[in-house]
Structure 1
Amino acid sequence: MTLPSREQKAVLRAERLALRDALSPEVRAEASAAMLRHIDTPAFRRAFDPAGATVSGFWPIRSEPDIRPLMECLRIMGVRPCLPVVLDRETIVFRAYLAGAPVVKTGFGTTGPDETAAVVDPDLMLVPLSAFDRHGHRIGYGAGHYDRAIARLDALGRRPRRIGIAFACQEVASVPFEPHDIPLDAILTEEGLIETRRQQV
C-alpha cells in the first residue's frame, strides 16, 4: 500500500535527517567549507546576479550546513544579506543583517537580527531543508514557514530565486510533490550546484 504524501515525506525527512546527523562535526565543517568553492562559478552566476541583490541566508541549527562564511563571501560580492526571523507558528519575515550587527534567538530555534533591523524582501533565498530531489522538490522541517513566505512574496509580484542548501547525503530519488509545494531553482551541496531538471527543460 502506498503511503499518503504527508507520511511519505515524514519517512524521508526522518531518514535523511538521520544521515545528516550521523555526519561528524569535522565532516560537516569540511562540507560546509567546500560549498564556498562553488559560488564563484558560471553555474552559480546563472542562478542569480549577485550585484546588489538581497539574499536571505540562515544561522545553522542542529546539523545544518554552516553557511555563515558563504554569506560573508556573498556580501563581499555585493549582496545585501538578510536572515529569516520566525514571528509565530505561521509566519517568518526577513530582517536585514549588517556586518557585525548583534543577533538574538528567535522562534523555531533560529537566530536573527532583533526588531530594530529593517524588514526586507529577498531576491534570492538560500533555503535549509531535510531532503531534496533533482526536480527541485524539497522536504522542509514540517512547519511550512518557507512555503508560506515564498507564496506571500509571489503574491506581491516578487518571485525570489530559491537555492536549497544541503549536504549531498540528503538527496533522494523523488520527493512527493503536492500542489502547495513550491520547488527550488537549484540546490547547493558540497559537491557543487545542482541546476534542477525543471530549470533545464
Structure 2
Amino acid sequence: MTSLKDLKKQLRLEALGRRDALDIGWRIEASLRMAEIGASAIDFEPGTIVSGFLPIRSEADTRPLISALRDRGAKLCLPIVLDRETIIFRELLRGAPMVDTGFGTSGPGPEAPVVDPELMLVPLAAFDPRGHRLGYGAGHYDRAIARLHAAGRKPRLIGIAFDCQEVVRVPDEDHDVVIPEILTESGLRRFAPQL
C-alpha cells in the first residue's frame, strides 16, 4: 500500500516533470500571459504588501507580474529562506542589491525591512481543482502562512503555476493550506471555500 508521503512525492515528481518538459520559449510567453491576466484580475488597494518570488528551475517567471503590480501601487517583498524551517519576507526596493539567500534563491539583503505580506503569490509543484496544493516538500510556505495566521494576519493567497501542473486530486492533511486562487496561463481560477 502506498503511503500518503509516497503518493505526494509521486504526484510532485510527475507535475514537475511536465513543467520541466515545457519549452523555455513557451514558458516565457506563458509567464507574460500570466502577467497580463494577473495585472487586471488581481485587485488590491495601493500600498498593499505583495510577496512575489523569483523563479527557480522551471517555475513561471513572476517578475513581469510583480512589476505590473508595483506599477499599480503594490509594495513588494520577496521570501527569504532563513533556515530549513523558516522563511521571512523582506521588502523589495527598486535598485536595491540582491544577495544569495540559499536554496537557489536570491532576494533583498539583511538591510531590507522585514514585512508581513497581505497578498502572497505562492509557488507550487502541483494543484487540484479544489485549490489544494503540493509545495516542494519542505513546508516553508505552510509554516509562513501559519505564522501569519497566528499573528492575526490573513493574507490573500494566489498560487502560481502552469496548467500542466494540475492533478486530479492532491491528498490533503489537516495542516495543509488551501489556496483559494490559482493563476495560470489560462486565467485566474477562484475556488469555492471548503466546508
Answer yes or no: same fold by TM over 0.5: yes
1:113 and 2:111 are equivalent in the alignment:
no
What stretches of structure 1 of length at least 5 have no aligned partner? none
2:39 and 2:69 in contact (8 A); partners too: no
For residues 33-54 of structure 1, give each alpha carbon's deviation from its aligned partner in whole angstroms, at most 9, with x where no partner exists: 000221244x532xxx242110
TM-score (structure 1 length as normaliser): 0.93
Query: Match for 1:24: what amino acid?
Result: D
Provide the C-alpha distance between the structure 2 equivalents of 1:145 and 1:116, rounded to a whole number of angstroms. 22
Q: 1:44 aligns with which of 42, 45, 49?
A: 42
Structure 1 runs of 4+ with >4 Å offset: none
Corresponding residue for 1:33? 32
1:140 and 2:139 are equivalent in the alignment:
no
1:167 and 2:166 are equivalent in the alignment:
no
For residues 38-79 of structure 1, give each alpha carbon's deviation from its aligned partner in whole angstroms, at most 9, with x where no partner exists: 1244x532xxx2421100000100000011011010001010
SS in structure 1 at match of 2:42:
helix
Using the TM superposition, give the Cα deviation of residue 185 of structure 1 relative to its aligned residue in structure 2, in angstroms: 1.6
Corresponding residue for 2:173? 178
Corresponding residue for 2:19? 20
For residues 71-114 of structure 1, give each alpha carbon's deviation from its aligned partner in whole angstroms, at most 9, with x where no partner exists: 01000101000000000000000000011211111122111100
What is the total number of aligned residue pairs between the two structures? Answer: 195
Corresponding residue for 1:190? 185
What stretches of structure 2 of length at least 5 have no aligned partner? none
Corresponding residue for 1:11? 10
Task: Flag the structure with higher helix content.
Answer: 1
SS in structure 2 at match of 1:119:
coil
2:36 and 2:65 in contact (8 A); partners too: no
Corresponding residue for 1:101? 96
Query: Match for 1:59: what amino acid?
Result: L
